[in-house]
Amino acid sequence: MLATPTRVTLVAGAAEGRTALNAFDGALLAAGVGNLNLIKVSSILPPGCRVVAGADIAPGTLTPTAYGSVTSHTPGEIIAAAIAVGQSRQGFGVIMEYAGSGRAGDAERVVREMVAEACETRGLELEAVHARAVEHRVVRLGCAFAGAVLWYGE
């Protein structure tokens, strides 16, 4: 069994690239997590996990991350990605992500609503919601990324 993360950092970034993978890699770099090995996880925030502004993680570290990303090759299209974390009075919480066409503000509104619904579905009393979003106007081939990086701090 893996250790339970004690910290979560919300990140978001966008970039252009010559290929979809290069655009995604650039968005990860813009978000500050491009040198980590992200392991995609689902939507539960561990009990006692604190939301913190930055993540002190060594390059190459296997890092559990809930994330959403969108890539587009339509010049002029605005794409957005958002992530939200809901903390509950019951100790654990939920993480929701969204990525698609549109503005950052709309994407953030969507993930906040998703967090509220997920907590309601679980019978959790929502205590706080933290969110982060990014948008990008595509030049040639762009990517928007938002994630909740789960890590182990003191």
Give the pLDDT confidence score for residue 45 in this predicted structure.
Answer: 97
**Residue 103: which residues within 8 A CB-CB, separation 6 or more?**
78, 80, 135
Active site residues: 37, 42-43, 97
Give the pLDDT confidence score for residue 153 in this predicted structure.
Answer: 80
Give the pLDDT confidence score for residue 28 in this predicted structure.
Answer: 98
Domain boundaries, the chain: 7-50+60-151
Distance CA 7, CA 130 (A): 13
pTM (two decimals): 0.96
Note down pLDDT in tens along the chain; length 154 residues: 678 999 999 999 999 999 999 999 999 999 999 999 999 999 999 999 999 999 899 999 999 999 999 999 999 999 999 999 999 999 999 999 999 999 999 999 999 999 999 999 999 999 999 999 999 999 999 999 999 999 998 6
Of the CATH numbers 3.40.50.1370, 3.30.9.10, 3.50.20.10, 3.30.70.120, which one belongs to the domain with range 7-50+60-151?
A: 3.50.20.10
Give the pLDDT confidence score for residue 2 in this predicted structure.
Answer: 78
Burial label, 143 (beta-carbon count in 10 A; 0-12, 13-18, 19+): buried
